[in-house]
Amino acid sequence: MDEYSRFVDWDKMDVSAQSQDTKELTCTDLQELKQLARQGYWAKNHSLRAKVYHKLISNIPCRTVTPDANVYRDIVVKIIGKRNSSSLPLPEFVDNSLIPTYCLNAEGVGAVRKIILCIANQFPDISFCPALPSVIALLLHYSKDEAECFEQVCRILACNDPSKRLIDQTFLAFESSCMTFGDLVNKYCQAAHKLMVAVSEDVLEVYSDWQRWLFGELPMAYIARIFDVFLVEGYKVLYRVALALLKFFHKVRAGQPMESDSIQQDIRAFVRDIAKSVSPERLLEKAFAIRLFSRKEIQLLQMANEKALQQKGITVKQKSLLNYCFSVFCRVFLRQNVHLAVHAENFKSEIVSVKEMRDIWSWIPERFALCQPLLLFTTLEHGCSLSRFYSHSEGHEPTLLLIKTTAKEVCGAYLSTDWSERRRGGNKLSFFGTGECFVFRLQPEVERYEWVIIKHPELASAGSETENHAQPASSTLSSSSIPSDPSDRLSPFLAARHFNLPSKTASMFMAGSSECIIVGGGDGQALYLDADLNHGRTSHCNTFNNQPLCSESFQISILEVWGFRD
């Protein structure tokens, strides 16, 4: 049909969705390109989409020496020779990934393998890239020949813009992206996350499939629309769409019995057959309706997850087969640790059961879910003293606070920051912490509350005089205390000192002094504890008709603080 049809099997393509109208793309403004990509401006014209892909990929900043079409023509004969490409083993970095055929003809299917092998020859530093076969297969639909497709894929792989992330090429990058996706699900898809925890022994194993949903299971019409936007907006789009897929899965399958013994298989089957329930337009609409974090915030979260993996022994580059095998071993080991972090034989709490602790573990950031709980403080052993609470908790980050009231209520808080940070305020009530803090209730019903910032009158204006002793009763919860300039604050997830950023970027989620503790939870929930650790109270509003954290005023029966041990 056009010069870009060489590898296309038009019997598989939905020709009725293709327009023959002659269109051109002349705009260069990024915001306008975003709108056009999201609207599918070039989605119904095969030739126009091919030209747009070529233009967008040509504008990707790359390394000085990036293999091009001429390189492919020089090496393909040497690498493939006269052998049938289907008989040649694929490089290990594709991790036995599916090689989707989409709407390729027989020549196109063979070309995918040839291009993968030539890329392996030119990019020896790639150690793990399971999305590559899908990207090559997709671009072949819009390429004049194999060499042109090879050049476009090489430009994507060789992108050297530090602010522009495209395709994961190492095991570390891939696995940290899976952990980051798990963190995002935990925040933005809580109903789906609750289902995953209920039916899966290892939620990280489920979330590690997220790229496969996109680059492997999705039908051609869907991944092409996603790729349209991806080339303009970058990696964040992939997170958006994967979250939307999970939301739709939960909506469609909620209350229905599982169709297989594995939730992973059920999600894969749903994504493969997504046309039965969701159109590409509706999927993208849902994806962009999610008020996701900024690109910078996601990047910081990814960095934190990478750091956690590195501390577990995963290296950035794994070139040899030995290192590759070691990475796979670590991957399995880490995933097992996520489920086995709370060992029934080693865990003993007077407040929560092993199952309840595992539920809490499913809420915490993925990088800490790799650790095991370590009891630091309990009023049964250490007494009801706030000073002893601090002395046993300091030096540990993060920590978990558990409270059982005399009325048999059980609540608690995940505290992201070391309590020693409170000393920066001297004798005053000092605010610190990050947006990863949250409060929760286990008894009488399970509920986790999203974070909000503690707003305190003494800190209402920068540089104002503050009193030595704050009045906790006047504390309120509000998101309005976030600085108006987003460039002047850190991601609500990560502590400023982790990235050597100015202290003014730190948020206010925890507060501590010699007289009290305040923890800001979410949906209007806050937890206040007196210095004697015998009495506490909550502040809440039912904005979203949530049940309160616990009684407005309560007596503490037992209080425990848990740390995280590697």
| Within a domain: 123 | yes
429 pLDDT above the threshold of 70: yes
Q: At what angle do helices 280-289 and 220-233 cross, to 10 degrees?
A: 40
DSSP classification of residue 41: T
Evaluate whether 355 touches 445 at the Cβ level (below 8 Å).
Answer: no
Q: Which residue among 143, 169, 195 closes a domain? A: 169
Specify the range with the lowest mean pLDDT, choosing from 103-117, 230-244, 447-461, 510-524: 447-461
- What confidence score (pLDDT) does residue 214 get? 96
Looking at the structure, do residues 193 and 309 belong to the same domain, yes or no? yes
Give me 446's structure tokens. Answer: 């399970």
Total domain count, the chain: 3
* Angstrom distance (rounded) from CA 241 to CA 87: 35
* Angstrom distance (rounded) from CA 506 to CA 511: 13
Res. 427 pLDDT band, cuts 50 70 90: confident
Q: How many helices (H) and strands (E) does the chain have?
A: 20, 13
| Within a domain: 459 | no
DSSP classification of residue 60: S
Specify the range with the lowest mean pLDDT, choosing from 7-21, 393-407, 548-562: 7-21
DSSP classification of residue 546: P
Looking at the structure, do residues 328 and 244 belong to the same domain, yes or no? yes
Res. 493 pLDDT band, cuts 50 70 90: very low
Looking at the structure, do residues 254 and 359 belong to the same domain, yes or no? no
Evaluate whether 335 touches 314 at the Cβ level (below 8 Å).
Answer: no
Residue pLDDT, tens place only, 145-195: 999 999 999 999 999 988 788 999 999 999 999 999 998 998 888 889 888
Specify the range with the lowest mean pLDDT, choosing from 12-21, 384-393, 500-509, 530-539: 500-509
* More confident position, 539 or 555: 555
Q: Supply the DSSP string of 42-53, one letter for each residue.
A: TTT-HHHHHHHH
Res. 525 pLDDT band, cuts 50 70 90: low
* More confident position, 475 or 218: 218
Q: Which residue among 335, 370, 392 closes a domain? A: 335
Give how far Cα 274 sits from Cα of 70, 253, 402, 553, Å. Answer: 39, 12, 42, 49
| Within a domain: 417 | yes
* Angstrom distance (rounded) from CA 152 to CA 147: 9
Which residues does 543 contact at the CB level (< 8 Å), separation at least 6? 523, 524
Give how far Cα 151 sits from Cα of 47, 220, 343, 522, Å. Answer: 18, 22, 50, 49
| Within a domain: 482 | no
Looking at the structure, do residues 537 and 397 belong to the same domain, yes or no? yes
- What confidence score (pLDDT) does residue 19 get? 62
Looking at the structure, do residues 430 and 534 belong to the same domain, yes or no? yes
Residue pLDDT, tens place only, 330-367: 444 444 443 445 666 678 999 999 888 888 888 888 88
- What confidence score (pLDDT) does residue 434 get? 80
377 pLDDT above the threshold of 90: yes
Looking at the structure, do residues 391 and 330 belong to the same domain, yes or no? no
Evaluate whether 375 touches 522 at the Cβ level (below 8 Å).
Answer: no
Is the peptide bond prior to 257 cis by the omega test (within 30 degrees of 0)?
Answer: no
542 pLDDT above the threshold of 70: no
* Angstrom distance (rounded) from CA 44 to CA 65: 35
- What confidence score (pLDDT) does residue 346 get? 77
Burial 301-312 (b: 16+ CB within 10 A, else e): bbbbbbebbeeb
- What confidence score (pLDDT) does residue 2 get? 75
Helix (H, G, I), strand (E, B) or coil at 213: helix
Looking at the structure, do residues 155 and 211 belong to the same domain, yes or no? no
Evaluate whether 308 touches 367 at the Cβ level (below 8 Å).
Answer: yes
Q: Residue 280 is part of which domain span?
A: 170-335
Residue pLDDT, tens place only, 210-263: 999 999 999 999 999 999 999 999 999 999 999 999 999 999 877 677 666 788
Residue pLDDT, tens place only, 59-117: 999 988 999 999 999 999 999 887 887 778 889 898 777 789 999 999 999 999 999 99
* 145 closest CA partner among 4, 11, 8, 1: 4
Looking at the structure, do residues 131 and 52 belong to the same domain, yes or no? yes
465 pLDDT above the threshold of 60: no
Indicate if the alpha-carbon torsion angle 320, 321, 327, 329 is positive or negative.
negative
Looking at the structure, do residues 151 and 179 belong to the same domain, yes or no? no
- What confidence score (pLDDT) does residue 469 get? 35
- How far from the centroid of its chain's Cα atoms is residue 513's Cα? 34
CATH number at residue 185: 1.10.472.80
What percentage of the chain has pLDDT greater than the value 70? 79
* 363 closest CA partner among 405, 400, 418: 400
Question: End-to-end CA distance of the chain, in Å?
Answer: 59
Q: Which residue among 135, 169, 203 closes a domain? A: 169
Mean pLDDT for 534-558 is 72
- In whole numbers, what is the pLDDT of the chain averaged over residues? 80
| Placement of tokens 């086995």 in the chain | 340
| Within a domain: 266 | yes
- What confidence score (pLDDT) does residue 354 get? 87
- What confidence score (pLDDT) does residue 150 get? 98
Looking at the structure, do residues 60 and 180 belong to the same domain, yes or no? no
| Within a domain: 118 | yes
* Angstrom distance (rounded) from CA 127 to CA 150: 18
Give how far Cα 265 sits from Cα of 53, 260, 419, 449, 559, Å. Answer: 32, 7, 43, 30, 41
Which residues does 563 contact at the CB level (< 8 Å), separation at least 6? 373, 374, 375, 376, 393, 396, 399, 400
Evaluate whether 372 touches 354 at the Cβ level (below 8 Å).
Answer: no
Looking at the structure, do residues 241 and 380 belong to the same domain, yes or no? no
Res. 516 pLDDT band, cuts 50 70 90: confident
| Within a domain: 461 | no
- What confidence score (pLDDT) does residue 61 get? 94
- Amino acid, single-letter form, for residue 417: T
Looking at the structure, do residues 112 and 37 belong to the same domain, yes or no? yes
| Within a domain: 487 | no
565 pLDDT above the threshold of 70: yes
Mean pLDDT for 23-39 is 83
* 536 closest CA partner among 524, 518, 511: 518
